[in-house]
Amino acid sequence: MSDPRPSPDDRGWHVLLLGGASGVGKSQISYRLARHYGVGLTEVDDFQVILQAMTSPDDYPEFHFWRTQPELANSMSEEEHLAFGRRYAGRMAQAIELVVANHFENRTPVLIEGDFVLPALAAQPRFGEYDSAGQVRSLFLYEEVEDQIRRNFLAREGDDQPGRARITWRQSEGIRRDAERLGLPAIPARPWDTVFERAVAAIDGP
């Protein structure tokens, strides 16, 4: 039986960026996509662990905010939460850019998945000294229904978190709008039984 995975020439990219808000199903689909394309998988959550351990709150306050200022964090409004998320993603983008450039240099294909992979990052024309044209593809997953994110959090973590779900859904909508504005593929997570096929079609499309 022939191998259904795309060859490196057919794949046409070295880095696939998979983004979307927390709780929309990125991690579940990322493993299937990595197997399908025959590439490595890197999760941005691992970057967070490393950066929190190797930086100080003075130099990188965003990475330590929830631990060092929990009362302030819990008292923030929705708008403040959304603004903080954008600042955090901007900081995280600096680390992701280094990893993308490294994979360009080594010519090793990889899928990078995480909450802080935003359309603005995927649309960059360059990563370090490398032109991204023809080397980067992206896909953004979003959840159309706010209450579905609430159910996802409940199933995953065992706690009902309506406030967090509301903020996360708004983040999801912002990512969807930004992706559409920048001409990047974005697909709804539901129906879940077809999301993998729809993801592959979006990634392989024009």
**Cβ neighbours for 177, distance < 8 A, ≥ 6 positions apart:** none
**Cβ neighbours for 167, distance < 8 A, ≥ 6 positions apart:** 78, 81, 82
Task: Name the nearest CA neighbour of 203 among 129, 132, 138.
Answer: 138
SS3 of residue 120 by DSSP: helix
- Phi and psi angles of residue 139, each rounded to the nearest 5 degrees, phi first: -150, 140
Q: Rounded distance, CA 106 to CA 102, Å? A: 6
Q: Where are the domains of the chain?
A: 13-204
pLDDT at 125 over 90: yes
56-115 residue pLDDT tens: 999 999 999 999 999 999 999 999 999 999 999 999 999 999 999 999 999 999 999 999
Q: The domain at 13-204 falls in which architecture?
A: 3-Layer(aba) Sandwich (3.40)
29-71 residue pLDDT tens: 999 999 999 999 999 999 999 999 999 999 999 999 999 999 9
